[in-house]
Every structure is written in structure tokens, then in C-alpha cells.
Amino acid sequence: MGGGVGGGSGPELLSGRYAIQMDKPMPQLDSPLAKAYSVTDSRATSRSMFGLVCGIDSLPRTEIVAQFARLRRIPVLTAIDAGAVTLSDTIGRRVVIVFEVPTGERVHASLNGEMSPLREDEIVRHVIKPLMPALKEMSSRFIAHRAIRADNIYYTDASRKAVIFGECVSSMPGMSQPVLYEPIDAGMAKPSGRGPGLVSDDLYAFGVMLVVLLAGCNPVADMSDQDLLARDRKSGV
């Protein structure tokens, strides 16, 4: 993990090279507990990058940024660097996590939004086939993603033939997950107290994500979290 470098009269740079452009928000890349802004790299000005400015209470998983950096061959949006920098006098010091901008758009724009449903064959070819290696690799390294959901996967390009998982380090494990995507024990816990999670939690979320993609929407959007948990308790999920 990188760190901020002081000195000079301009804004503080992450690791002495990444400038967070606070006047250039990128809301299409926001995470639930972090806002996205354009980033410039003083050593590679042509790179298209963004930084997630983490919320004060999000407690980002900076300790696993380096672990994910070693998984570059699998389809996961991986952080390039992370650290605390002073952004401005009003915002103060925040943890910022830097990524390259995904080459494709989000598969599902928002939790309760609607999209064109994917066919079963599209799910198999474009979602399950490219993402299963990532789940297997993370499992072999005892790393849980804990942010798998339909609005946190991206197409790899305009052809929409494959997808990648979105980021999972801007908040505590499972903290950003809607109850819909959580097993009943984690869903009943406070979001900040769901723990590091297991591979089984990722597999549960992955299954829910597939249902949402097939339906083209959140099929229980009209249910409150309490009603959803009560239904799951009755069904024994």
C-alpha cells in the first residue's frame, strides 16, 4: 500500500505520483461507500485512471490490496495503489484507492434498476465461464470478495462478450452488500460486523447475481430487508 507524500504547494499526491482530480468526479464508477474521481499519473499521463475516495467510516480493506495485485490474470478490477492523502482543507485526509478505468460499462446500473434480461446461454458464456476462474483462484488463496452483485460487474469491452468483477476493497467485507445478496446469518448482522466472510458467502452472492441478471431486475425490490429476512427464516435459507 502506498502513502501520501507531503511537501510542495500543490495537492498531495498518492505515492508521490497519483493526483486525485477532485474537480472531476466520475459518478458512474462510484462504490456504495466511496466516491470516484479522475486520477492522473505523473509517470504515465496517458493512462485512464480513477480513484475511490473512501468514506470516513467505510474502513477499506487496504491490507489485501497487495494480495489482489498478484491476481492480475483473473477477471477482477484490481487496485493499482492505495493510501491516505490530504485532499483539501475541507475534505481532509482520506484513504484513496486507485484503479484503471474499466474498458466496459456496468452490467447492471443500480441495485433496483432494470436492464434487458440476459438469456441462459449468455449467462453461461459471458458471466459464469469468465468469472468462475476468479472464484476458484480467490478460494485457493483464502480470499473472499464479499462485494459480488449485479451492479458490481463490468463488461470487458463494447462487445459485451465477457465480464469482470468490480472492486471489493473500498469498505469492510460485506459492508456494502444489500441484504438480498447475503446469507441469513450475515444479513441479520450489522453491515460493519459481518466479518471477513467465506467462499460460501461469495457463492451465495454469485447465485443471487445470476437470478438478477436473468430477471433483468431485483425480483424482490418491493420487500423490506426485514421482510426478506423473515421470509428466509421461514424457508430455511
Q: From first to last of its 237 residues, what are the pLDDT tens digits of the chain? A: 666 544 444 679 999 999 999 999 999 999 999 999 999 999 988 889 999 999 999 999 999 998 888 877 889 999 999 999 999 888 899 999 999 999 999 999 998 899 999 999 999 999 999 999 999 999 998 999 999 999 999 999 999 999 999 999 999 999 999 999 999 999 999 998 998 889 999 999 999 999 999 999 999 999 998 988 887 666 655
Strand pairing category for 34-41 and 163-165 = unpaired
Distance CA 126, CA 106 (A): 14
Residue with cell 457463492: 203
Determine phi and psi for 212, rounding to 5 degrees: -65, -40
**Measuring CA to CA, which residue among 56, 76, 55, 53 is closest to residue 65?**
76
Task: List, in sequence order, every residue forming a beta bridge with 14; answer none if it has no partner.
Answer: 4, 18
109, amino acid identity: A
Task: Supply the pLDDT for residue 1.
Answer: 60
CA distances from 174 to 49, 71, 91, 146, 191 (A): 25, 20, 26, 5, 7
Sign of CA dihedral 65, 63, 91, 34: positive
Residue for grid cell 478460494 = 139
* Cell numbers found for residue 140: 485457493
| Cα 74 from chain centre | 15
HEC readout, 77-96: CCCCEEEEEEEECCCEEEEE
